[in-house]
Amino acid sequence: MAKKVALLQGNQACAAGAVYAGCKFFGGYPITPSTEVAEELSISLPKVGGKFIQMEDEIGAMASVIGASLTGMKSLTATSGPGVSLKQELIGYACIAEVPCVIINVMRGGPSTGMPTGPGQSDVMQAMWGTHGDHAAIALVPSSVQEIFSETVRAFNLAEKYRMPVQVLFDEIVGHMRERIVFPEPGELEVIDREAPTDGPDTYKPYDSTKGQIPPLASFGSGYKFHVTGLNKADDGFPTTKASLVDAEERRQVDKVMDNVADIESNEEYLTEDAEVVIWAFGSTARSARYAVNELRKEGIKAGLFRPITLWPFPTKRTAELAVQCKAIVVAEMNLGQMIHEVERAAKGNCVVAGEFRVDGEPINPAQIMKKVKEVL
Amino acid sequence: MAYDYEKSIRPGKLPHIWCPGCGHGIVMKGLIRAMDTCGLDRKNTAIVSGIGCASRLPGYLDACTLHTAHGRAAAFATGVKMAKPEMTVICCGGDGDGTAIGGNHFIHACRRNIDMTYVLMNNFIYGMTGGQFSPCTPTGAKASTTPYGNPDPIFDISKLAIGAGATFVARTTAAHPREIDKLIVQGIQHKGMSIIEVLDDCPTTYGRRNKFRSVVDMMKHLKANAVPIKAAAKMTAEQLQGKFLTGVLFHDTEKPEYCAQYAEVIKKAQGA
């Protein structure tokens, strides 16, 4: 049987991916350029018995998502930079309380209101460090409509598996672009559901590290009575200031991601095997970069593309290897230089690291990437 | 025989954090009695709070308890209730938490008329941070950030709730412990947003600065100025100056409840 094919917008593909992943709750607030995600889900979620609520503000939207997730529902919110700024407090709450949820950030220009209808990639450091306190982060950066679908599914999988908030960031270009999408059949993409506790309600502890690095989360209303707080807490979920307990919990919550980078990491490479110069780019910029690689090859320049699909945790290992192999890495991003700092950290001076940046609301085009490559070689 | 509160309190979680003379314990006892009267199954009861002294209440109670971020109780609770309407949802917290930083969530939960009961302990002050003025600190009163007297006018929380669309609104005080559980019971049994405002006392950060010589003085003040709504009908505006009305201030059984409304949305979406 032929697969279902459609011409779909990135934001619509995100909504479709969420439903495929089993999302049953969306709490949001209108914001350009992400609004179509909410609009689509307001149609599709009730059809599958799910719940859609438009909350009074971005913070309330994030709160409702965490509340719904605690009842066992896969939960989503979608917003853009200003909204993510407002949600930071509760993204931190989801980190410390370890509540799975997915946050879509369709990136526009910034800071503040910035350029609501223009693309940007300037929220990438915010995705890692936006909320206060030490924490791990997972952020995915798809670059096509098809990939928005599959990465939204993977975001839910990672959120449920690692019991934490996962962010999916795509720039406005990818969010509003229309492309052909082939809808995966049910079962074609892996869908991970939340692990149920093995302990009964009488002995269950929501943060019991003897159950593993990621202790199972019970659901409210399923027979388990437990406490959830944003305070530092002991394994039973109740607040503590005991130094050893606080330290162990803080470290476990970071280690559960950093010890599993291999599982979370996802990159695409194009013609990097013999590359003398690697363009390091993600989202819509990676599409320009791929074009630039082809053009540069025609001119005899051995160029390649490294495209992170998981941005956080940062692909340190592979970036470091490429830095040893090639003469230069050109980081192209629609900001004034954010991920380049991480690339420089990973490269450890083993190659030239140069940046090609743009923040005028226009996409980075292949010609400017090619020009930069020629400058550094 | 003494009422058995112990069975509702999580083992090992007492003593609580509240100061001697604080009214929050009286409210907690009232809530426990109300939950018992309603025969609530604690496994299917979520108690949600924000941040502050009053918001520590859920941690002591044996139920599904959610201690959220400052001001966010109503929004988290909305998510819980929407996702699982079969659960009983109770919010609790203080005046600053609920009506300053959480004011937007509070009024919109009222507007939606989502079925939950919000027990708001109004002690006129931010107690946990040391006594800064809240939207409910009386004008002229002393707080740690109003050394010359409070220039701000106050929120009337119950009026705010009625205006915002809550369908059961009641007020009492910590000096009326029997009324607390009666009103919470009615709130829980009401299908829609119920606000139970309990005026209580913070002797540590409010009383001391405002010439209340003792907790007894504060309780006497609450008692002396509480006017049951029926009695108020026979009083003049002059006589009601500085008083607060108590009892069931508003009750509307007509306005549709939010989760029931959304169930209709699901039916429509599914073509039923």
**What CA dihedral angle connects B146, B69, B28 and B169, to 10 degrees?**
80
* Residue B223 included in any domain: yes
Domain boundaries, chain A: 5-182, 209-262, 268-376
Residues of chain B with C-beta less than 8 angstroms from the C-beta of A227? 10, 58-59, 65-67
d(CA A301, CA A76) in angstroms, rounded, equals 44
Identity of the residue in A47, A93, A220 whose CB atom sits nearest the CB atom of B269: A47
Residues of chain B with C-beta less than 8 angstroms from the C-beta of A100? none
**pLDDT at residue B6 is higher than 80:** yes
- Domain containing residue B161: CATH number: 3.40.50.970
d(CA A26, CA B146) in angstroms, rounded, equals 42
Tell me if A372 sits within 8 A of A356, measured CB to CB. yes
Give CA separation, B194 vs A98, A155, A207, B24, B61, in Å.
30, 37, 33, 19, 20
Residues 6+ apart with CB under 8 A from B257: B113, B114, B115, B191, B192
Topology of the domain covering A268-376: Rossmann fold (3.40.50)
CATH number of A5-182: 3.40.50.970
* Residue B3 included in any domain: no
* Residue B2 included in any domain: no
Token digits of residue A60 = 């309330």
Pairing of strands A178-182, A5-9: antiparallel
Q: In B66-156, which residue ranges form alpha helices assigned H by DSSP?
A: 73-83, 95-96, 103-112
- Could you tell me which of B233, B263, B270, B230 has the C-alpha nearest to residue B247? B230
Q: Is B185 helix (H, G, I), strand (E, B) or coil?
A: helix
* Residue B7 included in any domain: no
Token digits of residue A360 = 């005028």
Identity of the residue in B44, B69, B108 whose CB atom sits nearest the CB atom of A221: B44
- Residue A32's φ and ψ, nearest 5 degrees, are -80, 140
The β-bridge partners of A107 are A171
Burial (CB count within 10 angstroms: exposed 0-12, middle 13-18, buried 19+), residue A1: exposed
3-state secondary structure A258-321: HCCHHHHCCEEEECCCCCCEEEECCHHHHHHHHHHHHHHHHCCCCEEEEEECEEECCCHHHHHH
pLDDT score recorded for residue B61: 98
Residues of chain B with C-beta less than 8 angstroms from the C-beta of A67? 48, 66, 75-81, 83
Q: DSSP state, B246? A: E
* Residue B1 included in any domain: no
Least Cα separation, residue A75 to chain B (angstroms):
10
From the CB of residue B54, how many other CB atoms can be counted at a distance below 10 Å?
31
- Could you tell me which of A126, A65, A66, A59 has the C-alpha nearest to residue A89? A59
Q: Which of B7, B14, B78, B259 to mutate to test the interface with A (most CBs of A within 10 A)?
A: B78
* pLDDT tens-place string over residues B148-176: 999 999 999 999 999 999 999 999 999 99
The answer to whether the Cβ–Cβ distance between A46 and B44 falls below 8 Å is no
**Is A221 near chain B, with CB under 8 Å?**
yes
Q: Which region, left, alpha or beta, applies to residue B205 given φ > 0 means left and ψ of -120 to 50 means alpha?
A: alpha
The answer to whether the Cβ–Cβ distance between A71 and B84 falls below 8 Å is yes
Least Cα separation, residue A172 to chain B (angstroms):
28
Q: Which of B10, B65, B270 to mutate to test the interface with A (most CBs of A within 10 A)?
A: B65
Query: Residue holding tokens 């540069």?
Result: A296
Identity of the residue in B43, B80, B82 whose CB atom sits nearest the CB atom of A223: B43
- Could you tell me which of B156, B138, B104, B155 has the C-alpha nearest to residue B206? B138
Per-residue pLDDT of chain A (377 residues; tens, 9 = 90+): 688 999 999 999 999 999 999 999 999 999 999 999 999 999 999 999 999 999 999 999 999 999 999 999 999 999 999 999 999 999 999 999 999 999 999 999 989 999 999 999 999 999 999 999 999 999 999 999 999 999 999 999 999 999 999 999 999 999 999 999 999 999 999 999 999 999 999 999 999 999 999 999 999 999 999 999 999 999 999 999 999 999 999 999 999 999 999 999 999 999 999 999 999 999 999 999 999 999 999 999 999 999 999 999 999 999 999 999 999 999 999 999 999 999 999 999 999 999 999 999 999 999 999 999 999 99
The answer to whether the Cβ–Cβ distance between B44 and A227 falls below 8 Å is no
Does the fold of domain A268-376 match that of domain A5-182? yes
Give the residue from chain B lying closest to A201, CA to CA: B43
Please give the ipTM for the structure prediction.
0.97
Which residue range(s) make up the domain with B47? 12-269
Give CA separation, B247 vs A125, A275, B170, B183, B224, in Å.
52, 78, 5, 8, 15
* pLDDT tens-place string over residues A65-121: 999 999 999 999 999 999 999 999 999 999 999 999 999 999 999 899 999 999 999
The answer to whether the Cβ–Cβ distance between B67 and A47 falls below 8 Å is no
Cα atoms found within 13 Å of the Cα of residue B264, Cβ hemisphere only: 5
- Residue B128's φ and ψ, nearest 5 degrees, are -65, -35
* pLDDT tens-place string over residues B183-222: 999 999 999 999 999 999 999 999 999 999 999 999 999 9
